[in-house]
Amino acid sequence: MRVKRMSFFPTQPRVVSAQGRIQPGSLNPDATRVVERLQSAGFEAYFVGGCVRDLWLGRAPKDFDIATSARPRQIRRIFRNCRIIGRRFKLAHVVFRRPDGTEHIVETATFRRAPDPQDESPDELLITDDNTFGTAAEDAARRDFTLNALFFDPRHWCIIDYVGGLDDLQRLRLKTIGDPNIRLREDPVRILRAVKFASRLNFKISFDTYDAMVRHASDLHRAAPPRLLEEILRLLRGGHAFMSFQLLHQCGALAVILPEIVHFLDNESRQGPRGKFYKDLFWRDLTALDESVKSGDPVTPAFLEALLFYRIFERELDPNRRRSDYPIRDPLQVADATLDPFGRRLRVSKFDIGRAKQICGAQTRFFIKAGKKFRTQQFVTQESFAEALAMLRMHCVALEGIADAAKLWSTYEAWYQLFKRKHVSSGDPSDDPEYFESPAAEPTFDELWHLPIKQDRDESRPPAAPPKNVTKVAAPEPEPPPEPPPPAADVEPVSATTLQMANARAASRVPKPVPDADAPSAPPKPARESLKFKITRPDAKFDFPENPMIVAEDPPMFGNW
């Protein structure tokens, strides 16, 4: 039986004034300039997507996307600061230079429409090509949810609604455009997007949409692994990871994209009160992550992946709880066995999956006593130490209220003080015995990952004073440099330049005189005006160079969590 794709192309939109609902100061001036210039050139151009939804709800949009009837080459003729990107579907990026030297990119896309029904197989609805240009009505109808299909016209200051998205915004309801069974089969990743919007906006999912999510959750295995990975990371870094993963678990999508997590939760549920304790720790980790993200702390993909699989890694290290058949060896080998299936299935980059393994493996080293086989100074200077220490703090927050976390907090504070002393102090820590007696500060993740690495001690410290209680011995008088022998009669005379160089070499071999202890010592070197900081990029997605060197006038301040 052939299932027809949705063919809902309304031509008469609902136009609602946005006066009093959208404030003029909430619009980005660069994006507004792009829309107005396209409209002045005779094209349709509107704000579209999540920015319109957020503006209507009174939220600050993360970015401003523009949809227009102009083709990419036509956009490029209008804007000299435009570049066309994309191979499968071309987009126009209008680039604006900011006073600080950075770039602000306004992404402009041409209206598209859904693919033609005659081009698809009778039983396959998965969209593989949607690169056909269309009208504004067709572009709205091809989108996933009604709340993301609204247009905003800044010239007339009105909302253009083709699919009933304003009604759903008023009811705080998430609903697909058209038949949800067809729309979710066209793109199964829309299940994860529905969970993201429902948890982030605190919207209720309509009954027919949720029923389709449960019915077609198994289709997620057909989606591209990089898209699945990106949506999982967005759920984790969005500040609503707990609610998002609860919804994923209820609708059955979590068992498809992260079967290891579901297997862990099911096994712990059958282990009685102790198993329930470890199951609750997983959800408490996500709650602690939400609090951290909402406070503005940066998170990297490797840190999120390590946090997601840490409780499984912890179980496999315990001989009484482990479920795997491989022998218990080094913690990094256990991390390999825990994270490798996830990394291969979702095609995680080698850098991220390797750093996640280091973060997990480092948690066991926080409780090892220093000795010949374990050097604390070497451990503190590792590149992954800051993220590992942030993970330890996350566990301290997760254990609050259900276990005695005082010992864990003291362990964290001791390591943080050592980390702070190693990376911030410019002198010898033994010269400041009161440093550890001060109460431990509670750093944020941003402070942990942007701490400066001190320069070499020989460059930053003043010259050492002479030791006390030492008998002063007068230095011997230096002998004058020997005179060079006269040249032989049958040898060509030596030039004045050669003789001067020989005298200089002979003088350099003479030992320098030892200064008298009673003589005034040389003034110390003036302190540098600025320190060089070595920072690690907070997210590989950003265009940050690897470990850039920047100059800062003052060291960072340490505040509360």
Q: Which residue has the higher pLDDT, 326 or 241?
A: 241
Q: Which residue has the higher pLDDT, 59 or 536?
A: 59
Query: Which of 30, 63, 153, 179 does the annotation list as catalytic?
Result: 63
- Mean local confidence (pLDDT), 550-554: 36
The residue among 134, 168, 157, 127 whose CA lies nearest residue 10 is 134
What pTM does this model have? 0.71
The residue among 439, 508, 429, 419 whose CA lies nearest residue 461 is 429
Dist. CA 410–CA 47, nearest whole Å:
51
- Mean local confidence (pLDDT), 12-22: 90
Strands 150-153 and 132-133 come out as unpaired
User: Which pLDDT does position 39 carry in this prediction?
Assistant: 94
- Mean pLDDT lowest among 81-95, 264-278, 438-452: 438-452
User: Which pLDDT does position 490 carry in this prediction?
Assistant: 47
Single-letter residue type at 531: L
Dist. CA 57–CA 401, nearest whole Å:
36
Active site residue 65: yes
Mean residue pLDDT of the chain comes to 78
Burial of 487 (0-12, 13-18, 19+ CB in 10 A): exposed
User: Which pLDDT does position 492 carry in this prediction?
Assistant: 47
Q: Which residue has the higher pLDDT, 309 or 497?
A: 309
**Between the CA atoms of 351, 352, 353 and 357, what dihedral angle is there, to the nearest 10 degrees?**
100
20-47 pLDDT per residue, tens: 899 888 999 999 999 999 999 999 999 9
- Mean local confidence (pLDDT), 4-17: 68
Pick the CATH number of 7-171 from 3.30.460.10, 1.10.1740.10, 1.10.3470.10, 3.90.79.10: 3.30.460.10
Query: Which of 144, 168, 290, 336 does the annotation list as catalytic?
Result: 144
Longest dimension (CA), the chain: 116
CB contact set of 522 (below 8 Å; sequence gap of 6+):
463
**118, 106 contact by CB (below 8 A):** no
169-212 pLDDT per residue, tens: 999 999 999 899 999 999 999 999 999 999 999 999 999 999 99
User: Which pLDDT does position 500 carry in this prediction?
Assistant: 64
Q: Which residue has the higher pLDDT, 405 or 238?
A: 238
Active site residue 336: no
Residues in the chain: 561
Is 70 exceeded by the pLDDT of residue 508?
no
User: Which pLDDT does position 379 carry in this prediction?
Assistant: 85
User: Which pLDDT does position 510 carry in this prediction?
Assistant: 52
% of the chain at pLDDT higher than 70: 69
Dist. CA 454–CA 449, nearest whole Å:
14
User: Which pLDDT does position 159 carry in this prediction?
Assistant: 95
% of the chain at pLDDT higher than 90: 46
Single-letter residue type at 373: K
Q: At what angle do helices 207-215 and 190-201 cross, to 10 degrees?
A: 140
Q: Report which DSSP code applies to 206.
A: P
Position 535 confidence tier, pLDDT thresholds 50, 70, 90: very low
**150, 48 contact by CB (below 8 A):** yes
Q: What share of the chain is helix, strand, coil (3-state, %, to 5)?
A: 45, 10, 45
The residue among 355, 364, 339, 360 whose CA lies nearest residue 301 is 355
DSSP string, 255-323: HHH-HHHHHHHHHHHTSHHHHHHHHHHHHHHHHHHHHHHHTT----HHHHHHHHHHHHHHHHH-TTT--
- Mean local confidence (pLDDT), 517-534: 47
Position 551 confidence tier, pLDDT thresholds 50, 70, 90: very low
CA 553 to chain centre: 26
327-376 pLDDT per residue, tens: 767 888 889 989 999 999 999 999 999 999 999 999 988 887 766 677 78
CB contact set of 223 (below 8 Å; sequence gap of 6+):
187, 188, 189
Is 60 exceeded by the pLDDT of residue 442?
no
Look-up of token digits 């209720």: 204
The residue among 351, 274, 345, 353 whose CA lies nearest residue 309 is 353
Q: Which residue has the higher pLDDT, 295 or 456?
A: 295
Is 80 exceeded by the pLDDT of residue 525?
no
Residue boundaries of the structural domains of the chain: 7-171, 178-257, 310-448
CB contact set of 496 (below 8 Å; sequence gap of 6+):
none
The CATH number of domain 178-257 is 3.30.360.10: no
